[in-house]
Structure formats: structure tokens, C-alpha cells
């Protein structure tokens, strides 16, 4: 039932951020998803993460939801956003 949807992930080391690598990787990921007839991509962002939010906005992902305190990162509760791109 859900084989038309994929969750996306791109992780860039802090030292390599803001150099266009995320854009290159996401563009390729989106192109490959289209090639295999994926309909919907879901990006999950742990907050705060303005760089990732900006990357998703650049590719026209839409913010579709926010779960409060649903993750634990570095011993701290974090909110998680869900972004979606319909291809």
C-alpha cells in the first residue's frame, strides 16, 4: 500500500555543510525517485535544523506536520517536522 512513498534522508557532516552538497544529493535522490515511479517523498527533520528546512523549501517540499517532543537527541526531547513533496 505504501510502495509509492519514500522517506528521504541526506546527512552532511557539519564541516561540509553550506557548500551545495545537500542540493546535489537531494536533486539526484528526487530524480531517481521519479525514475522508479515514486509518488510522494517524506522528509523528517529533527528540530532545530534551519539548514535542512531551507533545503526542503528549495525543492518545494511542503511542511505537513510537527510532532512535539517525539525524539530524543543528545539526552534532550526534540520536536520533529514532516515535509512532503508530491512528484
Q: What is the domain extent for residue 23?
A: 5-86
Q: What CATH number does residue 69 fall under? A: 3.40.630.30
How far apart (Å, rounded) are the C-alpha atoms in residues 67 and 78?
A: 9
Number of domains within the chain: 1
Residue 77 has pLDDT above 80, yes or no: yes
3-state DSSP assignment of residue 18? coil
User: Which string of b and e fits 2-22 if b means at least 16 CB within 10 Å?
Assistant: eeeebebeeeeeeeeeeeeeb
Give 37-73 pLDDT, tens digit per residue.
999 999 999 999 898 999 999 999 999 999 999 988 8
Amino acid at each position: 500500500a505504501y510502495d509509492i512513498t519514500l522517506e528521504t534522508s541526506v546527512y552532511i557532516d557539519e564541516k561540509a555543510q553550506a557548500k551545495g552538497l545537500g542540493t546535489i544529493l537531494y536533486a539526484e535522490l528526487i530524480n531517481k525517485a521519479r525514475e522508479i515511479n515514486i509518488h510522494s517523498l517524506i522528509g523528517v527533520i529533527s528540530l532545530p535544523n534551519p539548514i535542512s528546512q531551507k533545503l526542503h523549501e528549495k525543492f518545494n517540499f511542503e511542511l505537513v506536520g510537527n510532532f512535539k517532543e517525539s525524539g530524543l537527541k543528545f539526552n534532550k526531547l526534540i520536536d520533529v517536522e514532516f515535509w512532503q513533496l508530491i512528484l
